[in-house]
Structure 1
Amino acid sequence: MPTPAAPHGPRRVLITGASRGIGRATAVAFAGQGDRVAVHYAAGRAGAEETLSLLPGSGHALVQGDLGEPGAAERIVGETVAALGGIDVLVNNAAVAPSAGNEHRPATTPHADWRRVWRRMVEVNLLGAVDLTHLVAQHLIDRGAGGRIVNVGSRGAFRGEPDFPAYGTTKAALQSFGQSMAIALAPHGIAVTSVAPGFVATGRQAAKLAEDGAAIEAQSPFGRVGTPEEVADAVRYLASAPAVWASGAILDLNGASHLRS
């Protein structure tokens, strides 16, 4: 039986964590090429509504769900299918990102806090994406349709995150999971890839940039940090029909701030 092809023309795209930052830029990028987008958010409805207002075209939708909660992935996929009529592309972007409130250096973090942060990041950053990938893959296979899944990983998966080890670990696991799925899902016409951004100038990182901007920018020989739009453009390419041969790839997007062999 021939391998199903990914659909051409307008597609139905589920983007998790799309209320701001990279997720918002990615939603705008897909909608800008005529795709219909499900804007997922966990708690920031106002931000998600703002993202929705920025999307050109029509037929977009809001989908809410905390990926750390049981049953959330099933509800998110079900509501997206109902709103858009199906899913052709999944972008696993939602994550509990490093912040002052979840720093967990091993030498100074009380064990109760250590356990709390680790479990929250594993549930959202890894297992939430794992569940969504499984459900969307089954949806595509049942339809006999090809599709695309793109995971938003991190440079920290390779460089290490000593102040946020759970973040670096979950991103490394997500990228490895993506490669396993690339092999498993290729016979069904589903390509799976990942991007691994370095520091990106999102609203969430504004305070960090204000405090340590010069040092952070100096990490790259370009003397700056990345933008959400640069990550979004890469995600959009990897989700395109011509990018099928990139399945299994992890694309570094860090301005040469960290090189790996």
Structure 2
Amino acid sequence: MRTVLVTGASDGIGAAAARRFAEAGDRVAVHYASNQVGGEETLRSLTGSGHVLVTGDISNPDQAQQIVSAAIAKLGSLDVLVCNAAAAPSALNRHVIGETSYTKWTAVFQHMVGVNLLGAANLAWAFAKHLIERSAPGAIVNIGSRGAFRGEPEYPAYAASKAGLHALGQSLAVALAPHSISVTSVAPGVVATARQLSKLDGVEGNALRAQSPFGRVGTPEEIASAVFWLASPEAAWSSGAVLDVNGASHLRT
């Protein structure tokens, strides 16, 4: 049995990942930032017992440390960190260069980089410190994005922050390997989360599904399965990898 912190677990990929670990008998710290109702719903949905709820804004350096400390205090230790919490693209934060005001441009970049990259970096620091002090092996799995490779012209800050997250993971993979800590990332394409349902049910839906030769989008459970495997001891030799989980909708060369 392992102990696992999943950030941004109120819904979507984070909630699916929390459930996948719980189904395997692991104890999970379910993190939420503002969606307390969603976090509590995820907690109630978990198989087994001993799961806990933690909260905080990962973009705040002090709170990022406190999130890890709270998970450790409630679970007794941590073995796996899943960095899923993110500032995601939406109609409100669309920021096309040449169309967006400088004020909005800088604000969106600061927010997305603060959550998606700096927040993950600070969580990883606190988590790695805990493992190193315990002389214990462990795993970090980051939720990146296909957009880091193909670009996101309407959301460049999102793509840049996810590309930075992939690079951070590879740097930490090298630095933490001597401590038997693996670090990997997954790069999903479009996933059928609550955030995407309006698009999938609307006029964009067919075009989004057509991006994959499978003719559909991914599910949170499919991403969670990839995360679960990458966090396993059997996947330690994959440390440093960025795994595409996008239904062949974007192929890297």
TM-score (norm 1): 0.96
Partner of 1:92: 83
Tell me the distance in 1 between the aligned counterparts of 2:14 and 2:248: 23
Aligned to 2:82, the other structure's residue is in SS state strand
**Unaligned segments of structure 2, at least 5 residues:** none
Could you tell which deviates more after superposition, 19-28 or 104-113?
104-113
Aligned to 1:123, the other structure's residue is in SS state helix
> Does the CA-based 8 Å contact 2:61-2:122 persist in structure 1?
no
State the Cα deviation string for residues 4-32 of structure 1 (Å, max 9, x = none). Answer: xxxxxx11100000000000000000000
* Aligned amino acid, residue 146 of structure 1: P
Q: Of 230, 237, 244, which aligns to 1:238?
A: 230
Partner of 2:240: 248
Partner of 1:257: 249
Counterparts of 1:108-257 in structure 2 under 5 Å?
Answer: 108-211=99-202, 212-257=204-249
Aligned to 2:187, the other structure's residue is in SS state strand
> Does the CA-based 8 Å contact 2:61-2:119 persist in structure 1?
no
Tell me the distance in 2 between the aligned counterparts of 1:68 and 1:78: 16
* Aligned amino acid, residue 172 of structure 2: M
**Unaligned segments of structure 1, at least 5 residues:** 1-9
State the Cα deviation string for residues 46-101 of structure 1 (Å, max 9, x = none). Answer: 00000001001111111000112241111101100000001100000000000011
> Does the CA-based 8 Å contact 2:13-2:223 persist in structure 1?
yes
* Aligned amino acid, residue 175 of structure 2: A
RMSD: 0.6
User: Is residue 67 from structure 1 mapped to residue 68 from structure 2 by the alignment?
Assistant: no
Tell me the distance in 1 between the aligned counterparts of 2:134 and 2:149: 36
Counterparts of 1:44-59 in structure 2 under 5 Å?
Answer: 44-59=35-50
Name the % identity. Answer: 61
State the Cα deviation string for residues 201-235 of structure 1 (Å, max 9, x = none). Answer: 00011111122110000000000000000000000
TM-score (norm 2): 0.99
Tell me the distance in 2 between the aligned counterparts of 1:248 and 1:195: 11
Aligned to 1:193, the other structure's residue is in SS state strand
Tell me the distance in 1 between the aligned counterparts of 2:19 and 2:67: 20
